[in-house]
Structure 1
Amino acid sequence: MEGVTEKTPFGKFARRYDSILVFYILDHMFCFIDIDDFTSVTVKSTPDEVEKIRQNHSSVSSPLNQSLRHWIQLNLNGDITDSEIYALVRRSYDIVKAKYSKGIRRKK
């Protein structure tokens, strides 16, 4: 995805978070994963979409230290297909990019 950067920013808060890899677009996070674990991915979404995903899939959980309304943790070995996970990661990217692209256009 165009313009994506990645960092491991949470290790400065606690060493146990050194392995959380965060993906950014326009300096705002849209996805993260524990690279020592690889059992789930956390993505941003809308409150309505989060509710729909929760209703349709049992392999979702609440993300750590994130807004439950706007973030959802997708368990990779559950009932969500790989193609659905890829689509949700892309949707997360699109949500964040659209939101923060508006601010860049206003500054110009």
Structure 2
Amino acid sequence: MNTEDVTKRCLSLAGAGEEYPFGPQPAVYKVGGKIFALLGEDAEPPRVSLKLPPDEVQALQAQYEGTVLPGYHLNKRHWVTVLLNGVLDDGELKALIEESYDVVVATLPKRLRPR
């Protein structure tokens, strides 16, 4: 996936929006006011940070050493930064984006969850 694909996938999820609270980079994707993805398009290679369950964070880092890194400037227990270098196939990355979204939605009060 490239950065355009990541953006399209994030924005295709119910209630998701894009913001730039930190300046022109990174693009921040939120649902119910909570972040589920950050996309660094200007990095080389581009990268996306995602929130995942802690046990999965460790497993992904071990499985994809050098591609799935501890979350950059984020809680390393809950966040990973995935390099968009082609190591993860599109299906795997889409699944991780959806899982990050689901993890965040599960923490929202019911009144803020997308229908």
Same fold judged by TM-score > 0.5?
yes
Please identify the structure whose Cα radius of gyration is greater. Answer: 1
Matches of 1:79 and 1:35, distance apart in 2:
17
Q: CA deviation at 1:78?
A: 4.5
TM-score (norm 1): 0.82
- Corresponding residue for 1:51? 58
Return 5+ residue gaps in structure 1 as ranges.
12-17
Among candidates 76, 80, 88, match of residue 80 of structure 1: 88
User: Partners of 2:75 and 2:90 in 1: how far apart?
Assistant: 24
- Asked if 1:33 is matched to 2:48, the reply is no
Q: Distance in 1 between matches of 2:18 and 2:74?
A: 18
Shift of 1:75: 0.9
Give me the TM-score of the superposition, normalised by structure 2.
0.77
Q: Show structure 1 runs of 4+ deviating over 4 A.
A: none
From 19, 22, 26, the equivalent of 1:7 is: 19
Letter in 2 for 1:53: L
Task: Report if the CA contact (8 A) 2:37-2:50 is conserved.
Answer: yes
Residue from 77, 81, 101 that aligns with 1:69:
77
Q: Give the paired residue count.
A: 98
- Structural mapping, 1:93-104, within 5 Å: 93-102=101-110, 104=111
Who is 1:15 aligned against?
none
**Alignment partner of 1:91 out of 83, 99, 111:** 99
- RMSD across aligned C-alpha pairs, in angstroms? 1.6
Which residue is 1:19 aligned to?
Answer: 25
Mean Cα displacement is larger for which, 39-48 or 54-63?
54-63
Q: Does the 8 Å contact 2:72/2:80 carry over to 1? A: no
SS at match of 1:66: coil
Structure of greater relative contact order (alpha carbons < 8 Å, 6+ residues apart): 2
